[in-house]
Amino acid sequence: MNGDKKLLCKIGTLCGLLGILGLMFALAVRLVMGRFGVLFFISTGVTLACWTVYVVTHLKGVLSALKSRQAVYGSNVFITVVLALAAAVIVNVIIAQGFDKDLDLTSEKLFTLTDQTKEVLKQVKEPIKVLAFFSEDETNPRFVKMRKDAKDLLDRYEKGCKLLEVQWIDPFVDREMADKYKVDYNGTVVFEMGERRETVTETDEQKFTNAIYKLIKGEVKKIYFLRGHDEKAPDDYDERKGYSDAREALENQNLEVKDLYLAAVGEVPSDCAALVIAGPQKPLSDVEVKAIERYLNRGGKLLVMIDPPSDRFPKLVKLLDKWGVKVGNDLVVDRNILASYLDPRVPLVRDFEYHVITKHLSPVPFSFSCSVTPEDKLPVRVTVTSLAKTTPAEGVSWGETSRKKFKYDPDKDTKPPVSLAVAVEKTAPP
């Protein structure tokens, strides 16, 4: 009999340990899958069964422990643990059931849609069907995570716009739907509005928003970068001189970036929403400058960035002068340690003049720049606003006109505060 009791006690002890492992496994399943699945309930049931066996086989010891002096003092700890476990269960149940509104307490708002996405969703006027092609195979951890990440993100889209309806499809099971929408990869999301479709092959908020934007707008605005003069290139990934980050930022704003070899085509395309001239190293020809002037005269938008010395680009500088912008043949210097980017030739502008262009800007370093100033006499209906300036103290910042010395000369150099950027606007005739 004693031998049987010892064997039962050992089995009970083993069951108790298995119960602890079962609880840990159940919690791990819940965290990985993000929901209460079959494995969670099976492991929870096994845990309860194991602990029941332990209590039955150690009944006297359990009752004795509960009646002991230590149990009285330990009851508070026990109650605290029980309450903590209960709170964890309640929180998980709430997460599983879901709220109508999400609460995001992260400083970076990692679980909240961006303002840009919210603005795009406000523009949705017709129903959009979202077909999410994700495998339901719960034995593959990668597939489980892919589906969970997509569901978390698409849930936020559904809550942000009542006209979005998400349909989940397993592409390995429903081949008919996968073939109909030409889906070749697990993790593909198709956005459909009427007869138009946009397909995204990775779970990414920016790509989802771009797809919706294309559906509701029907077309994407094009930004052209002038090429052929050794300008900064939007397809150059060099960290020092490439503009690939600028290209990505523009594309993230639902804009299409294209190259423009103006010398070859002779005219700025009619679909050009804005033309960018990003630091040319060779002068523009008469044909190119005249084409840009025609583009501006018909209401085009232009962003020009010129590296000193500016006298290398006489035709471009003359065109800007016609629009009330004086480009100095100098190098802007700012010796104020708080207003320079470690190098006085790289002024760091922290405070901008108020304008719609600058209202969201953080401090910007102007590396090796020439002065850009509003002309005293402006063309009719043209407004030129200085956006960024150096430190106003004379002798601390200036526009250096000499290429041999590096010293402020009030008779020759551009006096502070030196304007580094301007915005030009022309109003329509009355």
What does pTM read for this prediction? 0.60
Question: Angle 115-122/205-217 helices, nearest 10 degrees?
Answer: 30
- Fold for 115-217, please state it: Glutaredoxin (3.40.30)
| 3-state SS class at 94 | helix
Give the per-residue pLDDT at 366: 93
Query: How buried is 160 (Cβ within 10 angstroms: 0-12 exposed, 13-18 middle, 19+ buried)?
Result: middle
What's the topology of domain 221-426?
Answer: Rossmann fold (3.40.50)
Which parts of 137-243 are beta strand (E)?
164-169, 188-193, 196-200, 221-226
Distance, CA of 21 to CA of 46 (rounded, Å): 10
Closest CA to 157 of 218, 214, 209: 209
In whole angstroms, how far apart are CA 249 and each of 206, 212, 243, 255, 299?
11, 18, 10, 9, 24
Cβ-Cβ contacts under 8 Å for 340 (sequence gap 6 or more): 334, 346, 347, 348
Cα separation of 237 and 241, whole Å? Answer: 8
Q: Tens-digit pLDDT profile for the chain (430 aa)?
A: 556 667 777 776 777 777 777 777 777 766 655 555 667 778 777 878 877 877 777 666 656 655 554 544 444 444 334 334 444 443 444 344 443 344 443 444 445 899 889 999 999 999 999 999 999 998 899 999 999 999 999 999 999 999 999 999 999 999 999 999 999 899 999 999 998 899 999 999 989 998 999 899 877 789 999 999 999 999 999 877 889 999 988 887 778 899 999 999 999 999 999 999 999 999 999 999 999 999 999 999 999 999 999 999 999 999 999 999 999 999 999 988 776 667 899 999 988 988 989 988 888 999 999 999 999 999 999 999 999 999 899 989 999 999 888 889 999 999 999 999 999 999 888 7
Tokens 């002890």 label which residue? 13
Closest by CA to 323, choosing from 386, 381, 378, 268, is 378
User: Are the folds of 115-217 and 221-426 the same?
Assistant: no
β-bridge pairing 196-200 and 188-193 = antiparallel
Q: Which of 215, 139, 154, 161 minimizes the C-alpha distance to 187?
A: 154
Q: In the chain, what are the domain boundaries?
A: 2-96, 115-217, 221-426
Dist CA 79 CA 64 (whole Å): 18
Give the model's pLDDT for residue 65: 56
Contacts of 76 (CB under 8 A, 6+ apart): none
If you count DSSP H runs as helices and E runs as strands, how many of each does the chain have, helices first? 12, 16
What are the residues facing 192 on neighbouring strands? 129, 197
Q: Tell me how long the chain is.
A: 430
